[in-house]
Structure 1
Amino acid sequence: MDVLVRLVVALGMLAVLPMGLALVDEPGAARLRRIWWLPATLGAVSPWLPRGPAATALAACYAAATLALALLAPRRLLRTRSLAPREIAVLTALATPAVAGLALTAERHGTALFGFSLRMLSLTVPHFHFAGFAAALVAGLACRAGDTPAARCAALGVPAGTLLVLAGYFTGEWVEFAGAAVLTCGMWLVGLVTLRGARTADRTTRALLTVSAATLVATMLLALSWALGEASGLPHPTLTWMAATHGVGNALGFTLCALLAARRLQHSVHPTTRTEERS
């Protein structure tokens, strides 16, 4: 992994996951969040070590935590008995970090899992933290805030696109391009829905939501051009360029801004939340 990817991965593990878990109305997620710092720290250190037993062991600790998170998805489904679009998005958010944990462990071990190169595995780790977890969660939150047709399409489009991209890893570049197209549409709908919701928010929250939505326009166009180039052979950005633009833009411009805005909105609706968390 290069330095930029390692930093983005650390951001996903140490900041994005716990911020997101605080927004999920799931008791198991709240309990897991209290101890998340430990496996997340071990996982964040792993990419900075040489490949081998030590790096693999740290990555495996993080993978175990993501598996525990993924097991909350079937528990939630049994509890809610709902496959409403917003629930599908939240279930996707709970499950997809396990893909990142598995990819990280294999990459740190030096194993080309399922035939994927170590480079591709290293990029799978941030992808399933941000496109898998964060984007699906934000889509679910947007749908919960306003259950409109656009919000429901966003809550379905992001998980569907993420799973299609994953399927494309195994079946071919054109399936991956189809996944990127569906994911792009879903993400743009997320941006549209959040912009509509920003009208009634305070100035800071509006600014965060605007930056989040605007970022998606550029970053998802990059993702679409890369997937099309991979499938068709047309010129397209390199993986290094994608990590520096699409990856960093989605991590900072979209994910952090969207989660910070969601946190502010949560506190404005439930002003006692912070006091209860401290008690």
Structure 2
Amino acid sequence: MSALVNAIVMLGMLVVVPAGLRLTERPELERIRRLWPLFAAPGALALWLPRGATATALACVYAVGTVLLALHAPRPAARGRDLDPAGIALLTALVTPSVAATALVAERSGHELFGFDLGILALTVPHFHFAGFAAALIAGLVCRVSDGPAGRFAALSVPLGTLLVLVGYFIGNWAELAGAVVLTAGMWTVGLLTWRMGHEEGRDRTTRFLLLCSAAVLVATMLLALSWALGEATGLPHPTLTWMAATHGLGNALGFALCSLLAWRRIHTHDAARTEARTEPRTDARTRTEGRTA
């Protein structure tokens, strides 16, 4: 792997996944989130070691963590909960790191899994951390606060596009192009709804900047994804994989995923503080009433 790809993957492992898990607000995921550094640190170290037994073993440790995460995904659905579009997006987010970890284990061992060369496997790792986990999670969060046709479309099309891209790896470039089109439509819808959120009244300047930045970045990065997929399918000139990693990959990692997660963290903190402020006067009033009664 190149140093740039390694750095992007480390960001996904060590920052994006645990920050995203905190935003799910699902108590059953809290233990995995707390233990996540024990899985992610060996995985991050594996990126920088030469391919071989040691790097593979460390990558397997990370894979165990992602499998534990994926095993939690179907539990609410099995109980008849979280089958709405936002829940489907969250389910997708919880499963996709295991796809990335599988590619990582194969790449670190030097095994061309399913016939894919090691370079493709290396790029699959960041793809399913960001276009998989981060994109699906944020689409689900946006859907929960924008519960209309656009929000539901975003929450469903991002997981569908991610799945189609994965299937396209096996079927061919045209199927991958179809997946890129669906994923781009979903991501641009996420960007549109995020842009609207950034212009809502009551947003502080930092949160507004983070939301608007993440929305704007999606326009450029998904155009690059479309151009690459179209070029692969038709033979038209298109960016190289190295160029895609330096533009599309870095932009999605820093401009979209990181900015979005920081913005949503601030939104959740602000909402929690506002809820607490509303309940405190009621508590104080009840205390005073009880004191007068006594």
Q: Under a length normalisation based on structure 1, what TM-score does the superposition of the two structures give?
A: 0.96
CA distance in 2, matches of 1:150, 1:205: 22
The residue correspondences of 1:136-155 to structure 2 (distance < 5 A) are 136-155=136-155
Which has the larger displacement, 144-153 or 164-173? 144-153
In the other structure, the counterpart of 2:169 is 169
CA distance in 1, matches of 2:144, 2:99: 25
Aligned length: 274
In the other structure, the counterpart of 2:262 is 260
Does residue 251 (structure 1) correspond to residue 253 (structure 2)? The answer is yes
**SS class of match (1:235):** coil
**SS class of match (2:6):** helix
The residue correspondences of 1:109-258 to structure 2 (distance < 5 A) are 109-198=109-198, 199-200=200-201, 201-258=203-260
**Alpha-carbon deviations, 1:151-194, whole Å to 9, x = none?**
11000110000000000000010000000000000000001111
CA distance in 2, matches of 1:268, 1:186: 27
CA distance in 2, matches of 1:35, 1:63: 13
In the other structure, the counterpart of 2:97 is 97
Which has the larger displacement, 242-251 or 21-30? 21-30
Unaligned runs of 5+ in 2: 276-294
- The residue type paired with residue 188 of structure 2 is W
Unaligned runs of 5+ in 1: 274-279
**SS class of match (2:217):** helix
Kindly name which structure, 1 or 2, has the bigger radius of gyration based on alpha carbons: 2
In the other structure, the counterpart of 1:16 is 16
- The residue type paired with residue 180 of structure 1 is A
The question of whether the paired residues in 2 share the 8 Å contact of 1:208 and 1:260 is answered with yes
**SS class of match (1:11):** helix
**Alpha-carbon deviations, 1:193-237, whole Å to 9, x = none?**
111122132211110000000000000000000000001111000
CA distance in 2, matches of 1:30, 1:80: 21
Which has the larger displacement, 264-273 or 104-113? 264-273
RMSD between superposed Cα atoms in Å: 1.3
Measured after TM superposition, the shift of residue 31 of structure 1 is 1.1
- The residue type paired with residue 123 of structure 1 is L
CA distance in 2, matches of 1:81, 1:31: 21
Measured after TM superposition, the shift of residue 78 of structure 1 is 1.7
Measured after TM superposition, the shift of residue 148 of structure 1 is 1.4
The question of whether the paired residues in 2 share the 8 Å contact of 1:26 and 1:76 is answered with no
Measured after TM superposition, the shift of residue 79 of structure 1 is 3.2
